[in-house]
Structure 1
């Protein structure tokens, strides 16, 4: 709790980041619903409604979604932000840096579509590895 009884700024930012990520993954952009068949933007592959399911997402799935989201933002802008402002743990931020480095290389050699696919694939694989035994211990920065 903050001094005045409200949530800490970092917690508030994490909740807002996850809400943004959830909204965009559910097709809440520009009124196009999950089944609208739109694309994720220029050079982005179309996302189906398979991302939304009746069961809650696992920690690894949430990690992969938020890492992929911020990896695309970093790749598009060319600059990194603070991992806490992105709602990431230090370990997730390490995954993001690795994903962005690989996506930049793939983009240069194979094009934007290959970089986009690599982001999803590597974020899923790295997050699955990170959360294979449950939530990593040692505090939120790990």
Structure 2
């Protein structure tokens, strides 16, 4: 303690240094701002489905082009997502042979979107870390 019972200047700085981040990181109790954009009812399953669609579509094109390597884990896919990829690629190969690459790309996106939406319609599947 300094003279007159006041904390020393260094201690005052230390207290302020510890209190300031706590104040900044404390969540606000204010109401959320209405942005006018609709919010999804199940954002977790919707974003999981979108991510699944992006991953499966990307890697399906790579597999179809023959430019991929490794296994499903190196692609960042779960076993369920990899099953979707295998189904999509099998269908895309047939379409590519008969109708061309652009038709195969359209099929990849459409089937990946449908299968991923089905997979995540009730949230994230359980049954293991790679399910």
Partners of 1:97 and 1:129 lie apart in 2 by 16
Measure how far apart 1:141 and its partner are: 2.0
Match of 2:70 among 81, 92, 101: 81
Partner of 2:120: 131
Pair 1:70 & 2:59 matched = yes
In 2: Cα distance, 1:93 partner to 1:87 partner: 9
Which residue of the other structure, out of 75, 100, 104, is the alignment partner of 1:111?
A: 100
TM-score by length of 2: 0.63
Unaligned runs of 5+ in 2: 1-39
Residues 49-90 of structure 1 deviation map (CA, whole Å, 9 limit, x = unaligned): xxxxxx986100000000000000000017663010000000
- Normalising to structure 1: TM-score of the pair? 0.58
Residues 90-130 of structure 1, C-alpha deviation per residue, up to 9 Å, x if partnerless?
Answer: 00000000010000000011111100000000000000000
Q: Relative to structure 2, which stretch is displaced further, 69-78 or 111-120?
A: 69-78
Aligned position for 1:26: none
Matching residue of 1:97: 86
Moved over 2 A (4+): 78-81
Residues of 1 paired with 2:53 and 2:127: CA distance?
20
What's the C-alpha RMSD, in Å, of the aligned pairs? Answer: 1.9
Structure 1, unaligned runs of 5 or more: 1-54
Offset of residue 135 of structure 1: 0.1
Compare relative contact order (CA 8 Å, sep 6+) and give the higher one, 1 or 2. Answer: 2
| Equivalent in the alignment of 2:110 | 121
Distance 2:89 2:68 in 1: 11
